[in-house]
Structure 1
Amino acid sequence: MPVHYVVDGPEDGVPVVLSGSLGSALAMWEPQVRPLTEAGYRVIRYDHRGHGGSPVPDGPYDLADLGGDVLALLDRLGVGKAHFAGLSLGGMTGMWLGAHAPERLLSLVLCCTSAKLGPPEMWADRIRAVREGGTGSLASAVVGRWVTPAFDAGRRAELEEMVASTSDEGYAGCCAAIEVMNLTGELAQIPVPTLVISTSEDAATPPPHGKAIAEAIPGARFAEVGGAAHLGNVERPDEFSDLILARLAAR
C-alpha cells in the first residue's frame, strides 16, 4: 500500500519514522519535526492507510497490513533501517514491527499505547457508530480523550477537524485491527532498544498499559509524562521531544 508521506530534515540524516494515532493525520507530529530535524535527523511522517492523504482500501485491516505499509514505505525511500516512534495505533504498529521485522529498526519509542486494548465489543460498537454516523459524529468524543479539558479550544477544534476528515472506511478498518489485536505474547521477542512513554491523564491507554509493555520487552525503559492525556506529544511537546531525542541518541 503506497501510503502518503512527508520527509523533513537533512537527506543524509539518520531516518526517524513517526506513526500516528487512530483518526489522525501526519500533522499530529508537527511539534516534533523541528526538534528532530535540528538535531540532524531525517524525519519521515506518514498517514496510516485510510487516513489523511493515504489510499483507502476496503477494510477490515490488521496490524500486519499496517506494519507492511511501513516496510513498503522504507523500501520506496531506500531506507534499510530507521528509528520508529509511534503513538497509540502507531505504537501498536511499532510493536508489530519490533516482533516481525526487527532488522529494519534502530530503536522503538512507543507512546500512549497498548498491546491489547479491549474489550472487543468496544471496537465493534465504534465501528458500528462510524458506519452509521461517520467520523464527524465521533470527533468531539475522540478529541475529548486525546487532550485534557485545559487544552486550547482553537487547537481542539483543529484536532476535531482532523478526526472528522478521516475516511469512514479507513477509521473503521483500523478499529478492526485494534479489535482483534493481542501483542502481549510477542513483546518478549522484541530485541530492539525500546522506550515506552505514558501520560498521567490518558484514559484511553493509561500508564499501567505502558508499564506492562516496558516490563515485557527485554531492556525497555518506561517514562511517564504528567499533565497530558492521550495525544501527549501534542499536549506536552517539549517533554515528548526530549524523551524521543534521548532514546535516539542512546542507540
Structure 2
Amino acid sequence: MSVITLPHGLRIDLQESGAPDGAALVLVHELGTDPRLWAGVLAQLPPELRVLSLALRGHGRSEVPAPPYAMGALVRDVEALLDHMGLGDTVLAGLGLGGMVAQGLAVKRLDQVRALVLSGTAAKLGRPELWQRRAALALEGGMEAVAEELLPRWTGRKTPLEAATQMRAMLLDCPAQGYAGGAMAIAGTDFYTPTSGLRLPVLGLAGSEDYETPPDLQRETVELIPGARFELLRGAGHLACLEQPEGFAGALTQFLREIGHL
C-alpha cells in the first residue's frame, strides 16, 4: 500500500499485489467505496497477474479536493498514474463510477488499455438531477444519509449480511466531499457516442438483482462495442464483486485467458 503523488500534484492511494512483472490488471472502484471492494476477488485471481487497485480522488486514502469533480479529471488521474508506473496494455476493470472512468480512459488512451471489464456501470447513469441531489445529500446530511438511500438499491434478496455490512462501512468511511465530487462527475457524463466507437475486448458482468444499475442498462452499454460479451451473476446485487467474489473472479480470469492476457 502506498500513496503516490502524481505529476499534477494529486496524491493517490495505490495497492499492488501479485507478480511485479506480470500482465497488469487495474481495478477501479464504485463511487462511495474504496479498494476494499475488491478484497475477495483479489484472493481468487491467478498469482501471475500484477494487480493494481487504486482509490479515486476523494476516496480511501487518496487526496480529497473540494468538489465538484469533472469526469475528465478522474480519467486524467488514472492516466497519469499508469504513465507514472510505466504501464501500458493493461486490462481495466471498473465498477460504477470506476467503469465510467475506465470507458473514458479507453477512449483517450488505447495504448494504456487493451481490454475492459465493466460491472454495475453504463455509458450514462441516470439523470443529472439524481446525482446532483445525492451530492447535496452527502454535503448536507452526511454519509449516513447517503447509506440509508443507497443500501436498499445496492443489495439483493440474497446479499449476505457480511457483504451488506462491508458496503455500509465503506460508505460511512467515504469523505462526503469526495462522494459529492464523484456524483457531480457522473451527473455531467454521457459516454454513449465515445464508447460506441471503442474497438477492444470487453466483458460486462452484472448482478441479476442490481437495482442501482439494472442489468438491461448495463447490457445496452456493453453491446455498443462490437464483439463485447455480457454475463449475469445470478442473485448478486450492485456490488457483484463483493457479494460473489469467486464467481466474479472466475469470469474475469476466463476472460483474461481468452484475450491472451494470462
Normalized against structure 1, the TM-score is what?
A: 0.95
- RMSD across aligned C-alpha pairs, in angstroms? 1.4
Partner in structure 2 of residue 116 of structure 1: 124
Q: What number of residue pairs does the alignment pair up?
A: 250
What is the percentage of aligned positions where both structures have the same residue?
A: 34
Aligned to 1:69, the other structure's residue is in SS state helix
Aligned to 1:128, the other structure's residue is in SS state helix
2:208 is equivalent to residue 235 of structure 1: no
| Structure 1 residue runs of 4 or more that deviate by more than 3 Å after TM superposition | none
Alignment of 1:140-159 (within 5 A): 140-159=148-167
Partner in structure 1 of residue 73 of structure 2: 65
Partner in structure 2 of residue 131 of structure 1: 139
Normalized against structure 2, the TM-score is what?
A: 0.91
Aligned 8 A contact 1:83 1:106 in 2: yes
Aligned 8 A contact 2:44 2:245 in 1: no
Cα distance, 1:162 vs. partner?
Answer: 1.0
Which among 29, 44, 56 is matched to residue 35 of structure 1?
A: 44
Cα distance, 1:242 vs. partner?
Answer: 1.0
Aligned 8 A contact 1:83 1:105 in 2: yes
Aligned 8 A contact 2:25 2:51 in 1: yes
Q: 1:28 to 1:116 in 2, by over 3 A?
A: same
Gaps in structure 2 of 5+ consecutive residues: 1-9
Which among 158, 181, 187 is matched to residue 179 of structure 1?
A: 187
Aligned to 1:3, the other structure's residue is in SS state strand
Partner in structure 1 of residue 20 of structure 2: 11
Matched residue type, 2:236: A
Cα distance, 1:183 vs. partner?
Answer: 0.5
Partner in structure 2 of residue 188 of structure 1: 196
Aligned 8 A contact 2:163 2:243 in 1: no
Any idea what the Cα deviations from partners look like across 1:151-186, whole Å, max 9, x if unmatched?
A: 333442232121011111110000001111100111
Gaps in structure 1 of 5+ consecutive residues: none
